[in-house]
Structure 1
Amino acid sequence: MDPSTLSYLIAALLVLVGLAGTVLPVLPGVPLVFAGLLLAAWTGDFAQVGWPTLAVLAGLTLVSIGVDLWATAHGAKRVGASRQAMLGAAIGTFGGLFLGLPGLLLGPFAGAVIGELLHHRALTHRTVGHATKVGAGTWLGLLLGTALKLALAFAMLGLFALAWWL
């Protein structure tokens, strides 16, 4: 197999794994997409995609990292989540990976609720209601972050494709 063909295949694999990583919280999605695009540009000796385009793609990658951190924290903070709730959401997200799509959807919510209940150490109607609100806010923050990361990843692919073919 030609070395450049192998490099392009690895680049495509990095992009595909990166796109999956925008949804799966364990993988650094957008940075992997960027790594794949950088490898493809390098393999082509930067003839089709040059440094100005790659600088914009790197900037979008940095924005995606900021969006990821901001969206989760913003969703949790807006509903008054404790640190235990945020830790619970992270643990629930990781644990949910092993349970497929239902785990990915319910894991962060359940983890945030359990973390918030542990924070209050009292099981009353009021704390359960607040914990549920915290779980929903944290989950919505994660969902917003995922949607924004997907949008950025596809914008990066579109920009790369334009630079490649124009």
Structure 2
Amino acid sequence: MNPTLLWILSAGLVLVGLAGIVLPALPGTILVLAGLVLGAWIDDFTRVGWFALAAIAVLAVLAWLMDYISAMLGAKRAGASRQAVIGAAIGTVAGIFLGIVGVLFMPLVGAAAGEYLARRNHQQAVRVGISTWIGLMAGMLAKFVLAFMMIGIFLVALLV
């Protein structure tokens, strides 16, 4: 296959992966990783070797873990009940079907609803919902930082 087309595919995977950090239907970190591995493969791993790819893979795993941990840590930090954590998880899954607004705000709604059902305290439910949302946004920011670190390691290995 034409190397130029492969480089275009590699860059496309990375760009779609960056969009996937925000968009729920796309596995962002995995697509960034796939694009970078494809880029290394195009050059037969001569400039981007296994050490650089291992570092990139470690960052990808860390970014992937951010998806699952960030919102729940925010909820736990606010003293959330077990029901609030379950509500945040359900809200996250439900948000996938509601697009970007759902992804951004359904974990908040789910955590607040779960906390309200557990303790019947409006103020605590709102605090838990907001803490969950802050955790989710912090996790998304961390995933962006890690994805750009992955790209940076790749570019340094490729160009130096």
- TM-score category (smaller protein): 0.7 to 0.9
Question: Which residue does 1:71 correspond to in 2?
Answer: 70
Aligned-pair CA distance for 1:99: 4.1
Aligned-pair CA distance for 1:104: 3.2
> Helix, strand or coil for the counterpart of 2:157?
helix
Indicate if the aligned counterparts of 2:30 and 2:60 stay in contact, CA closer than 8 A: yes
Question: Which residue does 1:53 correspond to in 2?
Answer: 52
Q: Aligned-residue CA RMSD in angstroms?
A: 2.1
Indicate if the aligned counterparts of 1:86 and 1:112 stay in contact, CA closer than 8 A: yes
Gaps spanning 5+ residues in structure 2: where? none
Which range moved further: 55-64 or 9-18?
9-18
Question: Which residue does 2:146 correspond to in 1?
Answer: 152
Deviation string 1:91-111 (CA, Å, 9 cap, x unpaired) is 323433444443333222112
Aligned residue identity for 1:84: Q
Identity of aligned residues (%): 49
Gaps spanning 5+ residues in structure 1: where? none
Aligned residue identity for 1:136: I
Question: Which residue does 1:164 correspond to in 2?
Answer: 158
Q: How does 1:82-93 map to 2 (within 5 A)?
A: 82-93=81-92
TM value normalised by structure 1: 0.83
The question of 1:135 aligning with 2:129 is answered yes
Aligned residue identity for 2:145: A
Indicate if the aligned counterparts of 2:32 and 2:147 stay in contact, CA closer than 8 A: yes
In the aligned structure 1, how far is the partner of 2:32 from the partner of 2:155? 13
Go from structure 1 to structure 2 and tell me whether the alpha carbon gap of 1:105 and 1:72 turns closer, same or farther (over 3 Å shift): closer
> Helix, strand or coil for the counterpart of 1:80?
coil
Indicate if the aligned counterparts of 1:112 and 1:134 stay in contact, CA closer than 8 A: yes
The count of aligned residue pairs is 160
Deviation string 1:40-73 (CA, Å, 9 cap, x unpaired) is 1112211221111111101111222333334223
Indicate if the aligned counterparts of 1:26 and 1:94 stay in contact, CA closer than 8 A: no
Question: Which residue does 2:13 correspond to in 1?
Answer: 14
Go from structure 1 to structure 2 and tell me whether the alpha carbon gap of 1:10 and 1:91 turns closer, same or farther (over 3 Å shift): farther
In the aligned structure 1, how far is the partner of 2:98 from the partner of 2:68? 24
Indicate if the aligned counterparts of 2:22 and 2:100 stay in contact, CA closer than 8 A: no
In the aligned structure 2, how far is the partner of 1:111 from the partner of 1:39? 38
Aligned-pair CA distance for 1:34: 0.9
Aligned-pair CA distance for 1:5: 3.5
